[in-house]
Chains A and B, each alone.
Chain A
Amino acid sequence: MSVVWIWILKAVLIYGGVLTLAAGMTLAERKVSAWIQWRIGPNRVGPWGLLQPLADGVKFIFKEEVLPEGANPLLFRLAPILAAGPAMMAIAVIPFAGDLTIFGVHTTLSITDLDISSLYVVAISGMGVYGVILGGWSSNSKYSLLGGLRASAQMVSYELSLILAMLAVVVLAGSLDLRVIVADQAGSILQWNLWRQPLAFFLFLVAAFAECNRHPFDFAECEPELVGGFHTEYSSMKFALFFLGEYCAMIVMSSMLTTLFLGGPEVPFWRAAPWFVQLAAFLAKTSVFLFLFLWVRWTLPRLRFDQLMRLGWKVMLPLALANVFVTGLVASF
């Protein structure tokens, strides 16, 4: 079997898995929110409500599509694609597991391997904000516009800290390739960047929350103030695409946290683990962060917009710069 077919097979399998995970996250979000509020959560569709995402999907497809009066039809339709597309594209370079052999072809369990894969992820996931801005602007609604504006300001402020936090890890590994960064953390648990770069880990975590527009930084949505923010005017499958993009972005950011700071698919105390054990380890580490996303959402209140900006520019950015500076000094001597 040729290499191209292996590629296509991997792409189909990984995207299928990620989209299933994103659908599962919508259910997990409702379940976790329910448990935290002493409720049970969805449990009518299928056992323990497991088919709820399917029912939601069918409902979304059959909902009416509304195009607001005065909206820009082209951009209004383009925005959900721009929101969901980049988040899914960024998954392409995440190393889910190490070497494996399918039908006699030796390959790795990620859709593709780039030399600059970490740069690719931040570049592509930074595009996600265009969907939000265009969605807010083209809806011809003041709430949507405000949501889009806030999202753009927030993304610019936090993307800096995100990339600077990642830079410290890149300096340690000496490469932008995620596989090299993973290999750099191999060995023992103490080799994980979580212990070598605790500040960078923390900064990346907080910036990832802002990057995904999740609580406590969900200024693009901001239900109480802005009705629904950028997706106020959206309905039907377009709205579902925004949602899918948000959950895919969460999965990407959790995977990046795992890869950069928790040793990716490395299994502690088992160097030569087979690929499926590595995949399980990767998913276990990632699901910790995915749970953290939900957990924080139902714990913390939303920041005020000026607090968000102050935190981004006056706390996170200097800390990230100092971290890169110190790491660079240590690495060069």
Chain B
Amino acid sequence: MVIVKRKELSLAERLYLPEIARALSMTFRALFKPKVTRQYPEEPLPKTPVMRGQPRLLMLDDGKSLACVSCGLCEIACPAYAITIDGHETERFIEREPERFEIDMLRCILCGFCEEACPKDAIFMSDELELADFTRQSLVYGIDKLKRPRAALQQRIDYFYKANDRWRKRSSTS
């Protein structure tokens, strides 16, 4: 058993009034403190390449086709079953591309497994975070909403390659 020793209060403290005056002076000084509020839409959060935003598909440099070959590995890796892919053939040198590539943004948990699973470096976690609409259906993003030019994802791609360099080197030598 522990006997807690209470501090003997002085008369001034038992009267409360000096303490109330002290508290009031403290809150009055707080009125003029610099504000900590972030005015969100005007003042967005700082973004770093480490941050995993919503996944986006990388477009090839020709500006038309995707880097994706619809292998389906991200679909399997996805723990939330957010990705749906239907592939088809093309006339290009790379013979396959997705006909349908949908990510249900309401299911996506931004874990980044799809990015890790991708053998063709075709899907990356972008720095886009905002997600709001009026229907559930409109938040299932298709290819037209997911594709991004290389410039938009460059920061994340560089970071991703840097972070994974050690694994790449080992696999290339063995």
Which single residue of chain A is at the shortest CB-CB distance from B33?
A38
Residues of chain B lying within 8 A (CB to CB) of residue A300: 20, 23
Residues of chain A lying within 8 A (CB to CB) of residue B23: 299-300
Residues of chain B lying within 8 A (CB to CB) of residue A38: 30, 33-37
Residues of chain B lying within 8 A (CB to CB) of residue A93: none
Tell me the count of chain B residues lying within 8 A, CB to CB, of chain A: 15
CB pairs A–B below 8 angstroms (11 shown): A36-B27, A36-B30, A38-B37, A39-B36, A40-B35, A40-B39, A298-B27, A299-B20, A299-B23, A300-B20, A300-B23
Residues of chain B lying within 8 A (CB to CB) of residue A296: 24
B25-63, CB under 8 A of A: which get 1 and which 0?
011101111111101000000000000000000000000
- Interface pairs A-B: 4 shortest CB-CB: A299-B27, A40-B37, A35-B31, A38-B36
Residues of chain B lying within 8 A (CB to CB) of residue A37: 30
- Say how far A206's CB is from chain B's closest CB, in angstroms: 10
Q: How far is the CA of A32 from the CA of B31 in the complex (A)?
A: 8
> Which of the residues A39, A298, A299 comes within 8 Å of B35, measured between beta carbons?
A39
A7 within 8 A of B: no
Q: How far is the CA of A298 from the CA of B31 in the complex (A)?
A: 11
Given A300-B20, A300-B23; A295-B28 close (CB under 8 Å): yes
**Residue of A35, A295, A298 with highest tally of chain B CB at under 10 A:** A35
B3-27, CB under 8 A of A: which get 1 and which 0?
0000000000000000010011011
- Say how far A185's CB is from chain B's closest CB, in angstroms: 25
Question: Known contacts A32-B31, A35-B31; can you find 5 more A-B pairs with CB under 8 A?
Answer: A35-B32, A36-B27, A37-B30, A38-B36, A295-B28
In the complex, chain A residues 6-42 whose Cβ is within 8 Å of any chain B Cβ: 32, 34-40
Q: How far is the CA of A146 from the CA of B114 in the complex (A)?
A: 56
In the complex, chain B residues 38-97 whose Cβ is within 8 Å of any chain A Cβ: 39
Q: How far is the CA of A115 from the CA of B33 in the complex (A)?
A: 48
Residues of chain B lying within 8 A (CB to CB) of residue A32: 31
Which single residue of chain B is at the shortest CB-CB distance from A301?
B23
Residues of chain A lying within 8 A (CB to CB) of residue B33: 38
- Say how far A30's CB is from chain B's closest CB, in angstroms: 13
- Say how far A263's CB is from chain B's closest CB, in angstroms: 24
- Say how far A318's CB is from chain B's closest CB, in angstroms: 15
Residues of chain A lying within 8 A (CB to CB) of residue B32: 35
- Say how far B98's CB is from chain A's closest CB, in angstroms: 42
Residues of chain A lying within 8 A (CB to CB) of residue B28: 295
Residues of chain B lying within 8 A (CB to CB) of residue A298: 27
Q: How far is the CA of A145 from the CA of B37 in the complex (A)?
A: 38
- Say how far B22's CB is from chain A's closest CB, in angstroms: 10
**Residue of A34, A296, A299 with highest tally of chain B CB at under 10 A:** A299
Which single residue of chain B is at the shortest CB-CB distance from A202?
B17
A30-68, CB under 8 A of B: which get 1 and which 0?
001011111110000000000000000000000000000
Residues of chain A lying within 8 A (CB to CB) of residue B24: 295-296, 299
- Say how far A295's CB is from chain B's closest CB, in angstroms: 6
